[in-house]
Structure 1
C-alpha cells in the first residue's frame, strides 16, 4: 500500500504517523499546498521496488486523474479503480463519455449503503458536529443556506432542521429544487440567499459556488462550510487575498 490524501486539510498527522510506524507508506500531512498534494500523489505511483501500482482506491478521482494524465502507459497493468464521491464519479463519467477511461471503475458512491445512509445520514451528523466543534455556535434559530440538494444536501438540510435551524436551499437542478420545495424548504438563488444566511453549507462537489461577490453581501459573522469533495466550492483564494485578518480558531 502507498497512500496519499484526497484533501490537503483532512489528514490527521498523528494517525498518519501511526500508520507509518506500522509499515505503511504514507505521503500526506495536514495543510499541504496544492503543489505538495500533487507531489504526494506522484509518490504513490511506484512502490519502493520500482513496481507500479496495479489497483486504485480513490476519493475525488485524484489519483485516477493523475494516472490518466501522466502515467497512461501504466493503465494496462491496473486491475481497476474504485471511487466513493459524487464529484469523483462525475469526473469518471466524463472520462468514460470521452472514451478516455482506460481502467475498469467501481462506483461506490451510488451504492445503496453509501448514497442512502452515509450521504443521507452520516454527512448531516458530521456537518453539525463539525460546526459545533469548530465555532461553538448553536444551530437552533440560525438561518442556514444549503447549496445543493442531492443526497448529501438532503441529509444535511434534514439534520440542520432537526436542530432547529431555518433552512434555505439553493439548487440548479429543477427536479432537486422541486424536491426541496415539496419537502418544505424555501428555495432561492445564491445571489438572494447570501444576504440573509448566517451559516452557508456547500454540498455539490462543483466549483466556485460562493464567490467574492456573494461574500461581500453576507451578514457579519457569517460561517462558511464545505461538505463537498475538494476545496473549490468556496472561493478561498479570494477570501485569503481580501482578508483583513486570518486567525486559526481551532487546530482541528
Structure 2
C-alpha cells in the first residue's frame, strides 16, 4: 500500500532511526509510559512532515500508542529514502521518496487524506489546506491538527481571519520549547551544515547576508558570526531590525546588501525576498540559498532562465549570467538545511516532537470543547517538555517557597 523508492533500504533506515532514538529519550520515554493504555487506539493519524530519521521516531511512537499512521513527505526534495523504507517495514503506510515532482508531492498528500485521518500533523500547512479547500476531502471528519512551522501557522491565521477553519489546530511551532530551540539552534546548525556540504567554502572573512531576524534568522546569524563571518541582516520589522543592530550586526536594505554579500541566506517565510534586481547587482561568485519553508524567497525561476546552468556539486548549481558573472544557487532555492544536509539534530527535535505527541493526546481528550481556531500549545505541556529536558540533562532548578508564592500573588 505504501509507495517508496526502494524497500531494500530499510536496514539502513533502521540504523538511522536507532541513532536518532538514542538521542530523543524525552520523546520515547513519554511514549513508553503510555504504551499499555494505547490512548491513540482506533484513530488514524495523517502526517505530512520531513522524512528524516528524527521524524521516524515520532511516527513509530504514535504507532506504538495504538494509532494507524499514514505519512507523506513535507517537501519534494527532503525525503530520506532509507527512512521511508524503514517506516514501511514497521507497518507505517508511507508515501514518500526523494526528488519528487510537484504533482507527485501532491499525489502523496492525496493518498494520506484518502485514509480519512481524524488528526493531521503538518509541516508547512499543505495537508491542512488541502483538507480544507479540495472538494474531494470536504467530508473528512478531522477532529484537530497540529502544525510544526511558522509558515503553516501564518497560513492558518489567514484562514481563521476569513472564518475558513473547520477544526482546531494547535500551533506547536509557537511553543517556547519548540521555537526558541528548534528554530534557533536547530536551524542555525543545520543551515551551516547544509551550506558547507553544498559549497565547501570557508565562512570566516566572508560577508554573509541573512534575511530575517526571527528565531530562524537569529540562529543562523549566531552560527555565521561564530564561524568568523561578517554578518549583514535585512529586515522589514523595525523591532527586529533594532535588535539585530543592538546585537552588533550591520542592518541595511537588500538593495545595498546585494552589492556586498558573498553568501546569502533567506529565513523569512516571505515571498520575493531576493528578486531579479538583487540578483543582477550581486558580485561574481555569490552563493544564494534559502532556509524558509517554501521556495518562494529567491527568484530562482529568473536566475535559472537567464543563465547557463550546470550542477557543480551536490545541491549546488552554477548559474552563468549573460556577461559571464557566476551566481551559485543552493538546493534550487528550496529549504537548504534539509535538502543539502540532514536537517535539525535529534536533541532539539526531541523537544519539538514531544510537543507534537502531547498536543495530539490533548486533541484526543479535549477536541469536543475546542473551537475551529488556532490554539497555542498549553503552558503545562510547554513546561512539562522543558522539565523533561532538564531532567534528562541532570539539571535541577529551584522551586518557589510558600513565602515566595504568597508574595507573588499579593498586591
Q: Residue 25 of structure 1 corresponds to which residue in structure 2?
A: 93
Q: Residue 73 of structure 1 corresponds to which residue in structure 2?
A: 138
Q: Return the index of the structure with the highest Cα Rg.
A: 2
Within a 5 Å distance, the mapping from 1:1-252 to structure 2 comes to 1-47=69-115, 52-71=116-135, 73-75=138-140, 77-247=141-311, 249-250=313-314, 252=340
Tell me the alpha carbon deviations over residues 208-238 of structure 1, each in whole angstroms, 9 at most, x when there is no partner: 2112221121112211121111211112222
Q: Distance in 1 between matches of 2:312 and 2:153?
A: 33
Q: CA deviation at 1:18?
A: 2.2
Quick one: higher RCO (CA 8 Å, sep 6+), 1 or 2? Answer: 2
SS in 1 for 2:308: coil
Which runs of no fewer than 5 residues in structure 2 stay unpaired? 1-68, 316-339, 341-411
Q: Distance in 1 between matches of 2:213 and 2:171?
A: 20
TM-score by length of 1: 0.93
Q: Distance in 1 between matches of 2:93 and 2:305?
A: 35
Q: Say whether the 8 Å CA contact 1:6–1:230 is kept in structure 2.
A: no
SS in 1 for 2:139: helix
SS in 2 for 1:4: strand
Tell me the alpha carbon deviations over residues 2-61 of structure 1, each in whole angstroms, 9 at most, x when there is no partner: 2112211111122212222222222222222222211111111122xxxx1111000000
Q: Distance in 1 between matches of 2:205 and 2:289?
A: 18
SS in 2 for 1:149: coil
Q: CA deviation at 1:248?
A: 5.2
SS in 2 for 1:57: strand
Check 1:104–1:248 CA distance in 2 against 1; reply closer, same or farther (3 A cut): farther
Aligned pair count reads 247
Q: Say whether the 8 Å CA contact 1:212–1:235 is kept in structure 2.
A: yes
SS in 1 for 2:196: helix
Q: Distance in 2 between matches of 1:33 and 1:219?
A: 32
Q: Say whether the 8 Å CA contact 1:124–1:157 is kept in structure 2.
A: yes
Q: Indicate the larger mover: 98-107 or 28-37.
A: 28-37
Superposition RMSD in Å: 1.4
SS in 1 for 2:303: helix
Q: Say whether the 8 Å CA contact 1:210–1:233 is kept in structure 2.
A: yes
Which runs of no fewer than 5 residues in structure 1 stay unpaired? none
Check 1:175–1:211 CA distance in 2 against 1; reply closer, same or farther (3 A cut): same
More helix by share: 2
Q: Say whether the 8 Å CA contact 1:115–1:151 is kept in structure 2.
A: yes
SS in 1 for 2:233: strand
Q: Distance in 2 between matches of 1:133 and 1:84?
A: 25
